[in-house]
Homo-oligomer: A and B are copies of this chain.
Amino acid sequence: MSLIVVGTMAFDAIETPFGKSGQIIGGSATYVAYAASNFVKPVNQISVIGYDFPEEELEELKGRGVQMDGVQVKQEEKSFFWAGKYHLDMNTRDTLDTQLNVLASFEPKVPDAYQGSEFLMLGNLMPSLQLSVIRQLKNRPKLIVMDTMNFWMDTAMADLEIVLKEVDVLMVNDSEARQLSGQFSLVKAAKEIMKMGPKFLVIKKGEHGALLFHENEVFFAPALPLEEVFDPTGAGDTFAGGFVGHLAATQDISFNNMKTAIIKGSALASFCVEKFGTTRMKEINAAQIDERIQQFVDLVNFEIKLAE
């Protein structure tokens, strides 16, 4: 039950209505690894960092079973940096600054030790790099999950279409699903997107929860109603990490088990947004996660008797 995670390990600087974070740890693969490592070990990380990425962060992740053989360290360059500002509704944000740095020339390499991993999580990254990882694997994983974003639809659609044909599960948010499909209705969007390759589609709706589509089936998981969303950065990656981490831990890729995976991902994401960056992900333990999952059960659980 091993999992490869591909994506960025980076710095973020975040502004929300609640304040500014300063420079903090971020990156899609960082969040995925923190989340997935609650359920599965090892997490075989593939990423790239510069000389400035803190050693203690790597140690923290290693302590959680995250393997760093596939994380390239470029001693002459800085780590990828993103700065963004959230609007009041916390569902939309503006990018204030993007410095590719190490990412500009990144060529992911799959270490021999990672070969044979049964699960692959392609965190948000240039589609050509996601594809490169798939192509380097000697055996196709049991399940390939892919995250992407509107930026790649605008700038690398041809590559994105190729990757889509190779993956089992695609995760996008609602506006990305609409853009990718050209359909406003999410039900119609899902049908179109599943024709592009993925057999499963997760549409993330932020505070409005997430939908899982497969053939003619659909499952909905709410987001936990929170008093405050402090910082949404990484919530989607954390959700993805919880999702794929649960699947990898259970080795069960049925639609039914994906429902459970979505609830677990949602529970982890609900922690992520409570503090800046990865702060909350470092604090939580298994008991707290279970307690949060129980809140999801209580939130949606109802009994109904249908007329005879």
A297 at the interface (CB under 8 A from B): yes
In the complex, besides A217-B298, A219-B302, A221-B302, 10 extra interface pairs with C-beta distance below 8 angstroms are A89-B184, A185-B227, A187-B226, A188-B227, A188-B228, A205-B208, A256-B303, A260-B302, A290-B307, A294-B306
CB-contacts of A201-239 with B (<8 A): 205, 208-209, 211, 217-222, 225-229
The CA of A209 and the CA of B286, in the complex, are separated in Å by 30
**A290–B263 touching, CB < 8 Å:** no
CB-contacts of A115-168 with B (<8 A): none
**B227–A88 touching, CB < 8 Å:** no
**A227–B300 touching, CB < 8 Å:** no
A293 at the interface (CB under 8 A from B): yes
A24 at the interface (CB under 8 A from B): no
**B225–A222 touching, CB < 8 Å:** no
A304 at the interface (CB under 8 A from B): yes
The CA of A29 and the CA of B229, in the complex, are separated in Å by 37
The CA of A88 and the CA of B184, in the complex, are separated in Å by 9
The CA of A184 and the CA of B17, in the complex, are separated in Å by 12
Known: A209-B222, A290-B307, A293-B304. A228 touches B299 (CB 8 A): no
On chain B, the residues within 8 Å of A225 by CB distance are: 186-187, 211, 218, 220
Instruction: Name the residue on B nearest A291 (C-beta).
Output: B306
A259 at the interface (CB under 8 A from B): yes
CB-contacts of A77-100 with B (<8 A): 88-89
On chain B, the residues within 8 Å of A260 by CB distance are: 302-304
Main secondary structure of the interface of A (DSSP, over half): mixed
Known: A263-B302, A306-B294. A208 touches B208 (CB 8 A): yes
A307 interface neighbour in B227, B286, B299, B300, Cβ under 8 Å: B286
On chain B, the residues within 8 Å of A185 by CB distance are: 226-229
CB-contacts of A173-211 with B (<8 A): 184-188, 205, 208-209, 211
Contact with B along A227-258 (1 / 0, CB 8 A): 11100000000000000000000000000100
On chain B, the residues within 8 Å of A208 by CB distance are: 205, 208-209
CB-contacts of A253-300 with B (<8 A): 256, 259-260, 262-264, 286, 290, 293-294, 297-300
Mind listing 28 A-B residue pairs with CB under 8 Å?
A: A88-B184, A185-B226, A185-B229, A187-B225, A187-B226, A188-B227, A209-B209, A209-B222, A217-B298, A219-B299, A219-B300, A219-B302, A220-B222, A220-B300, A221-B300, A221-B302, A222-B222, A256-B302, A256-B303, A260-B302, A262-B302, A264-B304, A286-B307, A290-B306, A293-B304, A294-B306, A297-B304, A300-B300
On chain B, the residues within 8 Å of A89 by CB distance are: 184
Instruction: Name the residue on B nearest A186 (C-beta).
Output: B225
The CA of A303 and the CA of B258, in the complex, are separated in Å by 10
Interchain nearest-CB distance for A307 vs B (Å): 6
